[in-house]
């Protein structure tokens, strides 16, 4: 079968995350109310919904309640309502509670949730509405007519590691659609292309990202209170690295432990996986986890830039939703409700466009207006300078955030807009102090990266061209080694990149099969020569309830 399949649809969402799924459900309902017939589909690179979904997470139920107003909370796919919340400053051995939790950082009336569980639930609802969900298909190229997006091409399947066609080769399919809505998650690959081609970031602050790594721990029966929430700052990251830890109690006696590390640190040796292991050395964490067993590991990147880092959201034939657009409230550490709402707003614009039959840039700009007058804007406006404050370190950032609470989000109380710099540019040259000298992996409580990767159940078709494209590998073995000490080995949480001895020199080995699709490398490489593109459809992590 080697003819390119062509499919004509009306609306295509790329990425079966909460943004796209909420959007597709909402769109189908709008269409059936107006009596319009339209085909709506969702493209998902994972073999099943939820397999590539990872988050903390604490979900603000606002968007879900809008989408399912008749559902009692007990019917919604949460783990538990937040029952207690704590905010701690950690030193290496101590845990100091914050005197109070500022209301805007409170998770009161929110729900501890597994994103995998949430997306599977949304996926079911989506299919019930008659949406086609194509799992195992990766969107690899936008189709254009002039500057109008007219569809998406999916990846070829059955190409071997030398780029040759295997017997089962099948060219990617061309899915033509009147509207393409990109909900690919953080640093989406089609999103990256769209933003570059149409210069959608013009006039915006550069986006700034963080990476979140987490482990799920199975504890003895009855020892984990579902709905327990704790966030920490301080140890292990210290003052100079943005981020902090979270600990959430899930159902079935599972502790959900994670660490968010800003991808704008200066020390090229920072390794988020290792920082998570260091965190576990804290006596408080150890006392909670040591009787249990680690059962899953994963990582994802998050858009931290806030309101000013959000690009223009629409072009002719396409819109950006969710993490791809950068809708995340860094202060509340919540983005799922914003993602869902953005999907729903994009659906509203789409429904109108389908009614008029017009999909040009000016028609779809209706989406940007809807966002600007929605509660997404209201919420993000208040924290529009949150991340930028941390350029002055942890206490500067907290002070800025604190002042912002009283000044409606002004930077340092006075500036409407603080600028930001792309995170990878902050990385400093020269070898820094090794933060992990005393870190010992015992294989039962503290795990080396390779062991943790096993628990992400990630697998890729081995016989394919690596999906991590490096534009100039010479840089890796010479310049980068001298200037930054090959930070790819450290910032990748999955041991994809390895510098190995090769005769007198060294070579870069890309263990692409370990990739958990977090996009950290695409974001953080100081030379910006790494391009993450989707591997063969169906490849990647197989997360169940991350």
Partner 1 sequence: MDVLIVLEDNNGKIHRMGLESIAAGQRLSNEMGLTAGALVLGGNADGLADQASAYQLGEVLKVNDALLESYSADGYSEAVKQIIDQENPTYVLFGHTYQVRDYVPRLSAKMNKPFLVDNIAIRVENGQPIFTKQMFNAKLSADVEANSSGPFLVSFQSAAFSMDAAAAGSASIRESTVQLDTAMIRTKSEPPFQEEVGGVDLTSADIIVSIGRGIGKEENIPLAVELSKALGGELAASRPVVDSGWLPSAHQIGSSGQSVSPKLYLALGISGAIQHVVGMKGSKNIVTINKDPDAPIFEISDYGVVGDILEIIPKLTEAIQALKN
Partner 2 sequence: MKIAVLVKQVPGADSQLPIQSNQNWVDEGAVAFIMNESDNYALEEALQIRESMGEGEVVAVSLGPDRIQKVIREALAKGADRAIHIQMDTEGVIDPLVTASIFAHALKEENFDLIFTGLQSDDLGMGQTGIILGEMLGMATASLAMATELGDGKIKVKRELEAGWFQWVSLTLPASVSIQSGLNTPRYPSLKGIMGAKRKELKVVTPNVVDATQSLEKVYLPKSEKQTVLIEGSADQIVEKLVETFRNEIKVL
Q: Which is nearer to partner 1, 163 or 443 (CB)?
A: 443
Residues in the chain: 546
**Contact call for residues 314 and 271 (beta carbons, < 8 A):** no
Q: Is 443 in the site for partner 1 (CB under 8 A)?
A: yes
**Contact call for residues 514 and 495 (beta carbons, < 8 A):** yes
Q: CA 281 to CA 275: how far, in whole Å?
A: 10
Q: Is 444 in the site for partner 1 (CB under 8 A)?
A: no
Work out how close the CB of 426 gets to partner 2 at its nearest, in angstroms, rounded to a whole number: 36
Work out how close the CB of 474 gets to partner 1 at its nearest, in angstroms, rounded to a whole number: 20
Q: Is 509 in the site for partner 1 (CB under 8 A)?
A: yes
Q: Is 7 in the site for partner 2 (CB under 8 A)?
A: yes
Q: Is 462 in the site for partner 1 (CB under 8 A)?
A: yes
173 binds, among partner 2, partner 1, none (CB under 5 to 8 A by kind): partner 2
**Residue 7 exposed, middle or buried by CB count within 10 Å (0-12, 13-18, 19+):** middle
Q: Is 35 in the site for partner 1 (CB under 8 A)?
A: no
Q: Which is nearer to partner 2, 158 or 409 (CB)?
A: 158
Q: CA 524 to CA 528: how far, in whole Å?
A: 7
137 binds, among partner 1, partner 2, none (CB under 5 to 8 A by kind): partner 2
Q: Which is nearer to partner 2, 25 or 90 (CB)?
A: 25
Distances (CA, A) of 95 to 87, 176, 219, 284: 10, 55, 22, 7
Cα angle 529, 531, 533 (rounded to 5 degrees) comes to: 170
Strands (E), 30-138: 40-44, 58-59, 80-81, 84-90, 95-97, 111-112, 132-135
Q: Which two tokens stand for residue 534?
A: 């989707």
Work out how close the CB of 170 gets to partner 2 at its nearest, in angstroms, rounded to a whole number: 6
Cβ neighbours for 58, distance < 8 A, ≥ 6 positions apart: 82, 107, 110, 111, 112, 113, 229, 248, 333, 334
35 binds, among partner 1, partner 2, none (CB under 5 to 8 A by kind): none
Residue from 373, 454, 473, 505 binding partner 1 (CB under 8 A): 454
Q: Is 295 in the site for partner 1 (CB under 8 A)?
A: no
Q: Which is nearer to partner 1, 213 or 496 (CB)?
A: 496
SS3 for 98? coil
Cβ neighbours for 309, distance < 8 A, ≥ 6 positions apart: 204, 205, 206, 207, 208, 303, 326, 420
> In the range 172-201, which residues lie near partner 2 by CB under 8 A?
173, 175
> In the range 57-116, which residues lie near partner 2 by CB under 8 A?
none
Q: Which is nearer to partner 2, 42 or 315 (CB)?
A: 42
Distances (CA, A) of 89 to 261, 270, 304, 386: 16, 20, 21, 19
Q: Is 204 in the site for partner 1 (CB under 8 A)?
A: no
Q: CA 20 to CA 388: how far, in whole Å?
A: 29
Residue from 408, 450, 469, 472 binding partner 1 (CB under 8 A): 450
Residue from 88, 134, 248, 386 binding partner 2 (CB under 8 A): 134
Size of the site for partner 1 (CB under 8 A): 12
167 binds, among partner 2, partner 1, none (CB under 5 to 8 A by kind): partner 2
Residues that bind partner 1 in the complex, under the rule CB under 8 A: 443, 450-451, 453-454, 459, 462-463, 500, 509, 511, 513
């Amino acid at each position: 079968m080697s003819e390119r399949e062509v499919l004509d649809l009306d609306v295509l969402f790329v990425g079966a995350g909460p943004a796209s799924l909420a959007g597709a459900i909402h769109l189908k309902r709008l269409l059936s109310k107006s009596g319009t017939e339209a085909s709506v589909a969702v493209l998902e690179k994972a073999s099943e919904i939820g397999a590539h979904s990872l988050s903390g997470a604490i979900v603000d139920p606002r968007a879900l309640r809008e989408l399912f107003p008749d559902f009692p909370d007990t019917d919604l796919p949460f783990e538990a309502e937040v029952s207690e919340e704590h905010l701690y400053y950690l030193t290496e051995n101590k845990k100091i509670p914050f005197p109070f939790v500022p209301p805007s950082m409170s998770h009161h009336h929110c729900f501890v949730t597994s994103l995998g569980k949430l997306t599977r639930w949304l996926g079911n609802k989506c299919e019930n509405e008659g949406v086609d969900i194509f799992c195992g298909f990766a969107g690899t190229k936008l189709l254009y007519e002039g500057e109008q997006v007219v569809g998406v091409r999916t990846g070829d399947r059955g190409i071997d590691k030398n780029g040759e066609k295997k017997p089962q080769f099948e060219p990617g399919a061309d899915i033509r659609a009147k509207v393409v809505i990109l909900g690919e998650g953080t640093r989406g690959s089609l999103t990256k292309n769209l933003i570059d081609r149409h210069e959608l970031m013009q006039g915006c602050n550069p986006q700034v990202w963080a990476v979140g790594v987490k482990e799920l721990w199975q504890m003895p029966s009855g020892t984990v209170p579902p709905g327990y929430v704790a966030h920490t700052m301080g140890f292990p990251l210290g003052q100079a690295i943005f981020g902090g830890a979270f600990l959430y109690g899930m159902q079935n006696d599972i502790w959900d432990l994670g660490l968010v590390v800003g991808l704008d640190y200066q020390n090229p040796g920072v390794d988020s996986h290792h920082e998570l292991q260091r965190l576990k050395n804290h006596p408080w964490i150890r006392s909670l986890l040591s009787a249990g067993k680690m059962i899953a590991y994963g990582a994802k990147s998050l858009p931290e830039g806030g309101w000013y880092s959000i690009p223009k959201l629409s072009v002719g034939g396409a819109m950006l939703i969710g993490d791809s657009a950068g809708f995340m409230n860094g202060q509340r550490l919540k983005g799922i409700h914003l993602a869902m709402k953005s999907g729903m707003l994009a659906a509203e614009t789409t429904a109108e466009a389908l009614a008029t039959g017009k999909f040009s840039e000016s028609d779809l700009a209706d989406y940007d207006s809807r966002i600007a007058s929605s509660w997404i804007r209201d919420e993000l406006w208040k924290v529009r300078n949150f991340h930028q404050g941390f350029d002055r370190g942890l206490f500067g950032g907290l002070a800025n955030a604190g002042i912002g609470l009283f000044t409606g989000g002004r930077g340092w109380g006075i500036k409407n807009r603080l600028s930001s710099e792309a995170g990878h540019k902050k990385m400093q040259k020269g070898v820094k102090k090794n933060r992990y000298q005393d870190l010992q992996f015992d294989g039962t409580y503290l795990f080396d990266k390779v062991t943790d990767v096993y628990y992400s159940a990630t697998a890729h078709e081995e016989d394919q061209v690596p999906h991590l494209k490096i534009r100039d590998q010479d840089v890796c073995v010479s310049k980068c080694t001298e200037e930054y000490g090959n930070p790819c080995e450290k910032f990748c949480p999955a041991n994809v990149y390895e510098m190995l001895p090769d005769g007198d020199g060294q070579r870069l080995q890309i263990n692409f099969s370990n990739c958990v699709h977090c996009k950290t490398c695409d974001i953080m490489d100081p030379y910006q020569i790494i391009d993450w593109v989707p591997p063969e459809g169906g490849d990647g992590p197989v997360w169940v309830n991350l």
